[in-house]
Amino acid sequence: MSDILTDTSAGVLTITLNRVDKKNSITAAMYASMAEALVQAEADPAVRAVVFQGHETIFSAGNDIGDFLNAKPSTMDSPVFRFLRGISTFSKPVLAAVCGPAVGIGTTLLFHCDLVYAGDNAAFSMPFVNLGLCPEAASSYLAPQRMGYGRAAEALLLGEPFLAEAALEMGLVSRIVPPSEAAALAQRQAQKLAAKPLGSLVETKRLMKLGQVEVVAQRMVQEAQSFGRMLAEPAAREAFTAFMEKRKPDFSKI
Ligand code: COA
C-alpha cells in the first residue's frame, strides 16, 4: 500500500498520510506525491477542495529523519519545497483532520490550511531548535502572526508542544472533536465547500491572503537557506544522530 493515498469524490480530493508504522513521517517520495497531487488538483475543475488527514492516533511525525539526511533538500525544486509551494499557493480551500502528534511540518503545513479539525488527542509541536534547525514552511512568519509572539516563542524557541484546546483558542484549529470523528467532520465541511460557487471561494481565499503571499514565498526561501546551512552544522548532526541512536542529544559541547 502506498504511503500517500489519494481519493477524489464529491469534488473533494483527500490526501491521506499512510505510513503509520513510522508515525506518518514524510519521505521525499511522499512530498513528491503530495506536490503532484496538488498540481493536478489545482488544474482539475472537478476538485473543489482538498483534505489532508493522517490516522486517528498520529497525524505526522514530520520529516522522515533518515530519509531527510540521505536526500537533503538541496534546491527550491526539491520535493519538500514543491509541496510547500503547492499547499501555500493552492487557490481552492484546503482542510485538515489532525489527530495525535503533529510534529514539525505536521504542524507547519496547517498554517497553510483554511480549516483544521482536531481530535481531542491532537498535540502540535515545532521542535526545530531541539534539532539544531530553524523553522520552515514560513512558520517563522506565520506562527507569530497566528499565535501571537509570546506563544510562538514558546512553541518555536522552547519547542514546547501545545494541545488541541490551545490550538483552538489561538485559531489554528476550527473545532475539536473525538478522534474517531475528525476525518468525517473534515469531509462534511469539505463537501459543503464543494457545493458552493468555486469562483467565490477562490476569490474570497485570495482576498483573505492578499498581502501575505509575497512575504510567505520570500520567507520560505530565507528559511530554506538557513535550514540548509544548519543541517550541515554540529548541532543538527548531533540531534539527528541521537534520534537514530534512540538517545537524548548532548548539545553541551556545541
Ligand atoms: N523520522 C523517521 N522515523 C520516525 C520519525 C521520524 N520523524 N518519527 C518516528 N519514527 C519512527 C521511529 O524511529 C520508530 O521506528 P522503529 O519502529 O523502526 O524503531 C517508529 O517510527 C515509531 O516511533 P516511536 O518514537 O517509537 O513512537 P512514539 O509513539 O513513542 O512517539 C512521536 C511518536 C511522533 C512523538 C515520536 O516518534 C517523535 O517524536 N518522532 C520524531 C519527531 C521529530 O523530531 N520530527 C521532526 C522532523 S524535522
Q: What is the dihedral of CA 242, 243, 246, 251, to 10 degrees?
A: 30
Predicted model pTM:
0.97
pLDDT value for 187 = 98
Which DSSP state fits 26?
B
72 alpha carbon, distance to own chain's centre: 18
- pLDDT confidence of residue 74: 87
Decide if 168 contacts 118 (C-beta within 8 A): yes
CA of 122 to the centre of ligand 1 (A): 16
| C-alpha to C-alpha distance for 166 and 222, rounded to whole angstroms | 28
Report which protein residue has its CA nearest ligand 1's atom 28.
Answer: 23
Q: Whose CA is nearest to atom 25 of ligand 1?
A: 23
* Separation of alpha carbons 167 and 143, rounded Å: 11
Ordered by start, the domain boundaries in the chain are 1-178+197-254
Q: Report residues of the chain scoring pLDDT below 50.
A: none
Whether the CB of 61 sits within 6 Å of ligand 1: yes
Q: In Å, what is the CA distance from 124 to each residue of 58, 66, 67, 82, 214?
A: 11, 22, 22, 23, 26
- Reading the block at residue 133, the C-alpha cell is 534547525
- pLDDT score recorded for residue 1: 85
What residue owns the CA closest to ligand 1's atom 29? Answer: 23
For residue 182, the surrounding DSSP H or E stretch is: helix 179-194
Residue 125 Cβ < 6 Å to ligand 1:
no
Amino acid sitting at position 185: L
| Per-residue model confidence as pLDDT tens digits over 178-211 | 999 999 999 999 999 999 999 999 999 999 999 9
Please tell me the distance from the alpha carbon of residue 139 to that of residue 183, in angstroms, as a whole number: 25
Q: Specify the CATH number of the domain 1-178+197-254.
A: 3.90.226.10
Q: Is the CB–ligand 1 distance for residue 136 below 6 Å?
A: no
Supply the residue whose CA is at minimum distance from atom 10 of ligand 1: 22
CB atoms inside a 10 Å sphere around CB 44: 13
